[in-house]
Chains A and B, each alone.
Chain A
Amino acid sequence: MSAGSGNRNTNTEPWGSFDDNLVQGGGAAVIDMENMDDTSGSSFEDMGEMHQRMKEEEEVSEEAAAADDDSPEDGEFLGMKGIKGQLGRQVADEVWRAGKRQASKAFNLYANIDILRPYFDVEPIQVRSRLIESMIPVRMINFPQKIAGELYGPLMLVFTLVAILLHGMKTSGTVIREGTLMGTAIGTCFGYWLGVSSFIYFLAYLVNAQITMLQMLSLLGYGLFGHCVVLFVTYNIHFHFLFYVLWLLVGGLSTLRMVAALLSRTVGKTPRLLLCGTLSLLHMLFLLYLHFSYHKIIEGLLDTLEGPNLSPIQRVARDVPELTLNATARSLGVTLMSH
């Protein structure tokens, strides 16, 4: 109690408002400190928040000031246009800041996944119907056809194609120097999908076709379904005739479907010809390439195995009688001459 009173006596000046609480004794003094820490901590937090808020306000006011700075001369010289310009600039600023916020968010992995999630928002039935639709060309080119912007199906088809290609490479005994089969298969499939999509999108942009990159990726990705079917069949059943029939039928159907979708979104003859010609050429040739580059090798190997073995024998068989005949003739001649 005496300590408390001492406190009270000595602290009157700096701790004026605490006098009543300090009466309780020494223990209370320590608690005071704890409480003090609490309050000071919260006050620091407040300070931090306030600092941030002030900064933001400063930024806003700076921008406003900048806008104000601009506005008088704009207003003086351009009148109505000045106000429009100011509005435009403000909107641009707003957009830029929103974009910046979005970009900083995108660095976060989970934010990234959230950004991609809408493109994977499908039901199994939808995927199945889209797979079937990818084989059915629609003859409606006056009105833009609907193209689903979705990436699950295309991505899975590309991975399936990678697996099929890997199978084809293994069975054909493809030799790849400086790299693995796996890397080559992935590179080929993703390279085709992304590369051709970007290229066709670029062409579409040039000829002013109504298609987005996402739609292009989805269209071409589902177009690979035909390739998957054809390659899966022909890597296991080795008939050339079968391959050509499937190439024309299945590959052709999936190409036609893409061409029809592109036609309906392009205006004018030359652009249509350019865009669809390029796409169908690339798509059909890619199937040919995939088939023959990883399938022909087995035949090539057979040829090289059989070819050298057969031809020397034939040559020897053809040559030996001549030689012997010549030799016998010569020996006969020699004997005749000598006699």
Chain B
Amino acid sequence: MAEEASRPFAGLSDVSIPEDIPVEGDISVPVGASRRDDEYSTLDEPVKETILRDLRAVGKKFIHVLYPKRSSALLRDWDLWGPLLLCVTLALLLQGGAADSDDQGGPQFAEVFVIIWFGSIVITLNSKLLGGTISFFQSLCVLGYCIMPLTVAMAVCRIVLIGGSGTVSFAVRLVVVTASFGWSTFASTAFLADSQPPNRKALVVYPVFLFYFVIGWMILTFSPSQ
């Protein structure tokens, strides 16, 4: 038996180990590591629970945007589900504008989609270039979630527009969109500003301002087809 055990080493006989290193130790199989994986396993849970858990996480982040205190919850576990949801909702609400019938002018679904994602990417790259310490997807997540006030404003505008499109309705829409635009900008700045060098906050905020301004303006000028 001892001979058999020694045979595999025969080929390595010329490897020399200095004698002053004691060759000893004890055998211990790491058992704890595999058990930790089991706790996080979501393979055998019902699909409903999985979806509900994700939705709950998205809902929590919505609350963070509505009440923007300087917390890092939105930054720490980012996801892109919320932004996708908001973006699709906004694009669907903006669909079917007045000019849409004769195939011109009105914001198309794809256009809204592209503006939101392209704009977020540009802002993120800009903040990276200015020396921000935030990761790419964290920034996308924050910018996407902060569209929420504008989406709400869009829904309100649609409801107001059902009542009619006179001067009063325009005034109401103007107030609502301006408020939500300010809210979006303020919330995203609250989350993003900490990751920037203090003297350059204005440079980072400007593209964010422009981005939400364009979206807000699109919402304000929207008029449904008769």
A residues in contact (CB < 8 Å) with B: 3, 6-7, 10-11, 14-15, 17-18, 20-21, 24, 26-36, 39-40, 43, 113, 116-117, 119-124, 127, 152, 155-156, 159-160, 163, 166-167, 170-171, 173-176, 180-182
Q: Which of A33, A167, A175 contacts B105 (CB 8 A)?
A: A175
Query: By the criterion CB–CB under 8 Å, are B199 and A6 in contact?
Result: no
In the complex where A33-B9, A43-B15, A180-B110 touch, is A163 in contact with B210 (Cβ < 8 A)?
A: yes
User: 0/1 per residue, B128-172, Cβ < 8 Å to A?
Assistant: 111100000000000000000000000000000000000000000
Q: CB-defined interface of B78-115 with A at 8 Å, one 1/0 digit per residue?
A: 00000000000000000000010000110010110011
Q: Is the CB of A35 within 8 A of B10?
A: no
**Contact present for A20 and B19 (CB under 8 Å):** yes
B15 — which chain A residues lie within 8 A by C-beta?
Answer: 36, 39-40, 43
Partner of B2, one of A6, A14, A24, A27: A6
Chain B contact residues: over half helix, strand or loop, or mixed?
A: helix
Decide: B214 and A163 in contact? CB cutoff 8 A: yes
B32 at the interface (CB under 8 A from A): no
B114: A residues at CB distance < 8 A: 180, 182
Q: Are B3 and A180 in contact (CB under 8 A)?
A: no
- 3 nearest A-B pairs in the assembled complex, by CB-CB distance: A14-B13, A6-B2, A120-B129
* Additional 7 contacts, C-beta under 8 A, given A14-B9, A31-B25, A159-B210: A29-B2, A124-B200, A152-B203, A163-B210, A171-B221, A180-B110, A182-B114
**B16 touches which of A17, A20, A127, A171 (Cβ 8 Å):** A17
A274 to chain B, nearest CB (A): 35
Give 15 CB contacts A-B under 8 Å.
A3-B2, A6-B1, A6-B3, A10-B3, A14-B6, A27-B26, A28-B24, A35-B21, A120-B131, A123-B199, A124-B200, A152-B130, A174-B105, A180-B108, A182-B111
Interface centre among B3, B23, B111 (most CB of A within 10 A): B23
Docked-complex contact B9 and A36, CB < 8 angstroms: yes
Among residues of B, the one whose C-beta sits closest to the C-beta of A152 is: B203
The answer for the CA separation of A167 and B214 in the assembled complex, in Å, is 8
Task: Judge whether A21 and B22 touch: CB under 8 Å.
Answer: yes
Taking a contact as CB atoms under 8 Å apart, the answer to whether A18 and B17 are in contact is yes
Which of A35, A120, A156 has the most CB atoms of chain B within a 10 A radius of its CB?
A: A120
Minimum distance in angstroms from B209 CB to a CB of chain A: 10
**Cα-based distance from A98 to B7 in the complex (angstroms):** 51
Inter-chain CA distance A176–B16, complex, in Å, is 79
From B3, B17, B126, B217, A167 is in contact (CB under 8 Å) with: B217
Is B207 an interface position by the 8 A CB rule?
yes
Q: Are A123 and B23 in contact (CB under 8 A)?
A: no
In the complex, the answer to whether B5 meets A29 with C-beta atoms within 8 Å is yes
Name which residue of chain A comes closest to B112, CB basis: A182
A133 to chain B, nearest CB (A): 17
A27-B27, A116-B129, A181-B111 known; A15-B13 Cβ under 8 A: yes
| Across-interface contacts of B25 in A (CB, < 8 A) | 31, 34-35
From residue B129, how far is it (CB to closest CB) to chain A in Å? 4
Establish whether residues B27 and A30, one from each chain, have CB atoms under 8 Å apart when the complex forms. yes
Cα distance A269–B12 when bound, in Å?
83
With a CB–CB cut-off of 8 A, which chain B residues contact A124?
199-200, 202-203
- CB of A166 within 8 A of CB of B214, answer yes
Report if B122 contacts A (CB, 8 A): yes
Q: Is the CB of A113 within 8 A of B128?
A: yes
User: Are B17 and A39 neighbours in the complex by a CB distance under 8 Å?
Assistant: yes
Q: What residues on A are CB-neighbors of B186 within 8 Å? A: none
- Chain B residues whose C-beta falls within 8 Å of the C-beta of A176 in the assembled complex: 104
Cα–Cα, bound, A182→B137 (Å) = 24
Q: Select which of A3, A21, A28, A117 is within 8 A of B1 by beta carbon.
A: A3
**Closest A residue to B205 using CB positions:** A124
Q: Choose one: B1, B3, B200, B206; the contact of A156 (CB below 8 Å).
A: B206
Q: Is B213 positioned at the interface, with any CB of A under 8 Å from its CB?
A: yes
Nearest neighbor of A11 in chain B, beta-carbon distance: B6
Interface-centre pick from B12, B22, B24, B129 (highest chain A CB count, 10 A)? B129
* Contact partners of B200 in chain A: CB under 8 A: 122-124
Question: What chain B residues lie within 8 Å of A182 (beta carbons)?
Answer: 111, 114-115
Q: How distant is the Cα of A10 from the Cα of B5 in the complex, in angstroms?
A: 11
Cβ contact within 8 Å between A7 and B6: yes
A127 touches B203 (CB 8 A): yes
Q: In the complex, are the beta carbons of B213 and A163 less than 8 A apart?
A: yes
Q: Is the CB of A170 within 8 A of B105?
A: yes
